[in-house]
Amino acid sequence: MRVYNFSAGPSMLPLEVLEEAQKEFLDFAGTGMSVTEISHRDKAFSAIVEEAEANLRELMNIPDNYCVLFVQGGASQQFAAVPLNLMHNGKADYIVTGNFAKKAWQEGKIYGDARMVASSEDKTYTYIPDVDKIAFNDDSDYVHITSNNTIFGTRYIKFPKTKAPLVCDMSSEILSREVDVNQFGVIYAGAQKNLAPAGVTIVIARKDLIENPLPICPTMLKWKTQADNGSLYNTPPCFSIYMANLVLRHLKKIGGVKEINKINEYKAGLLYDFIDNSSYYTNNVVKEFRSIMNVPFVTPSKETDEKFVKEAKAEGLVTLKGHRLVGGMRASIYNAMPVEGVKKLIEFMKKFEKENA
Ligand SMILES: *Cc1c(COP(=O)(O)O)cnc(C)c1O
């Protein structure tokens, strides 16, 4: 039986996509081979990379002066790739709005003067600092932000206007809402939240920014290496790219980012409304910054939190345990989580409250 999986990542994929992959698993595109067996130099495979790029460009409206790369190493690897490609003057600004944002900043400090210009750690990352009041440095090579904070359940509702290129970790919300790519110098995202199984990481970079990686930048971390080779410099994560393409096709079919954003707002709205109208459950994120992807919440005690997670699992609502830094529960309701999954969670929450309040 398939359950509703609220995992923060790797997370649910659309059932239709999984079934399609299953159907052609042994014989991919008439090659008589599985996509897991085929050479990345085979035309049938490079066609997939090209289609995935075209689909992503269409869905996100990515302008021609940006390159789209499929790389490995996860978003965490990009924490290093960003300074190694961009930190020409050895200086950068970071906004620290959560655990991953902090890790990116700490990685940046290995390579130069990475300055934390704003943080929401004072209130355990329950809000996003006012981007209009941040004093960015004039000499920065880039400004780094994390648009959706997976662990704490916040998101930017407005992005800062910066002189230096804005670099954004969009791992946990890419393709969940419309963004204007032109606002950013670089966008990167690990695929395993909203796009594909783990293994591939998307980098969308303005072409003029990839030309001068630092001399110490490893070949594999140079965005230019991947750009010059159509993401096929070495063996790419073939299966993840193939799955990403199926997810992108699926997203196009259901109406694109605009449509999925509506559904995401609806799902998150149902859950937040229920939590806000309940005296039993709490979400302590400042309302305007609430994520529509990750919804952390607690019951009145640690004991009932634990009981909640256990009993929910028995009902087919799994991986609801919150991150160890936050405790309680976290419902990750990415693109692939059906509305019915959220409704079933709310029904369970009602029942649990009645039995335990
Ligand atoms: C999950 C996540 C990461 C880490 O991604 P990996 O692919 O595991 O390196 C980084 N940033 C954000 C915002 C995330 O949600």
User: What pTM was computed for the model?
Assistant: 0.98
Which of 7, 102, 170, 172 should be mutated for ligand 1, with most atoms under 8 A from CB?
A: 172
Q: Tell me if 14 is assigned to some domain.
A: no
Residues 231 and 287 both lie in one domain: no
**Banded pLDDT at 143 (limits 50, 70, 90):** very high
- Which are the contacts of 255, defined by CB distance < 8 A and separation ≥ 6? none
| Atom 3 (ligand 1) nearest CA | 75
Residues 89 and 195 both lie in one domain: yes
Q: What is the pLDDT of residues 63-86, one digit of tens each?
A: 999 999 999 999 999 999 999 999
Residues 232 and 300 both lie in one domain: no
Beta bridge partners of 94: 116, 144
Q: Which two tokens stand for residue 226?
A: 């991947």
Residues 139 and 218 both lie in one domain: yes
* Amino acid letter, 151: I
Residues 121 and 213 both lie in one domain: yes
CA of 27 relative to ligand 1 center, distance in Å = 32
- pLDDT for the residue numbered 1: 87
- pLDDT for the residue numbered 72: 98
Beta bridge partners of 203: 69, 188
- pLDDT for the residue numbered 346: 98
Residues 130 and 60 both lie in one domain: yes
Going by DSSP bridges, is the β-strand pair 317-318/294-297 parallel, antiparallel, or unpaired? unpaired
- pLDDT for the residue numbered 333: 98
**Banded pLDDT at 177 (limits 50, 70, 90):** very high
Query: In terms of C-beta density within 10 A (0-12 exposed, 13-18 middle, 19 or more buried), how is residue 206 classed?
Result: middle
In our burial notation (b when 16+ CB lie closer than 10 A, e otherwise), range 123-132 reads eebbbbbebe
Q: Tell me if 293 is assigned to some domain.
A: yes
Residues 249 and 261 both lie in one domain: no
Secondary structure class of 116 (helix, strand, coil): strand
Q: Among the atoms of ligand 1, which is closest to the Cα of residue 192?
A: 7
Q: Tell me if 17 is assigned to some domain.
A: no
**Banded pLDDT at 104 (limits 50, 70, 90):** very high
Residue 320 in contact with residue 341, Cβ under 8 Å?
A: no
Q: Tell me if 111 is assigned to some domain.
A: yes
**Banded pLDDT at 226 (limits 50, 70, 90):** very high
**Banded pLDDT at 245 (limits 50, 70, 90):** very high
d(CA 307, CA 20): 37
Q: What is the pLDDT of residues 111-125, one digit of tens each?
A: 999 999 999 999 999
The pLDDT of residue 265 is above 90: yes
Residues 197 and 290 both lie in one domain: no
Q: Tell me if 18 is assigned to some domain.
A: no
- Which are the contacts of 286, defined by CB distance < 8 A and separation ≥ 6? 126, 127, 154
Residues 169 and 58 both lie in one domain: yes
Q: Among the atoms of ligand 1, which is closest to the Cα of residue 76?
A: 9
Q: What is the CATH number of the domain that holds 154?
A: 3.40.640.10
Q: Could you give the percent of the chain with pLDDT greater than 70?
A: 100
Residues 84 and 220 both lie in one domain: yes
Give the residue from 226, 253, 280 where a domain finishes. 253
Residues 171 and 286 both lie in one domain: no
Q: Tell me if 19 is assigned to some domain.
A: no
Give the residue from 232, 253, 274 where a domain finishes. 253
Q: What is the CATH number of the domain that holds 276?
A: 3.90.1150.10
Residues 185 and 308 both lie in one domain: no
Number of domains within the chain: 2
- pLDDT for the residue numbered 146: 98
- pLDDT for the residue numbered 278: 96
Q: What is the pLDDT of residues 12-32, one digit of tens each?
A: 999 999 999 999 999 999 999
Give the residue from 217, 235, 253 where a domain finishes. 253
- pLDDT for the residue numbered 122: 97
Residue 44 in contact with residue 31, Cβ under 8 Å?
A: yes
Range of the structural domain that residue 294 is part of:
4-8+255-356
- pLDDT for the residue numbered 281: 98
Q: Among the atoms of ligand 1, which is closest to the Cα of residue 74?
A: 7
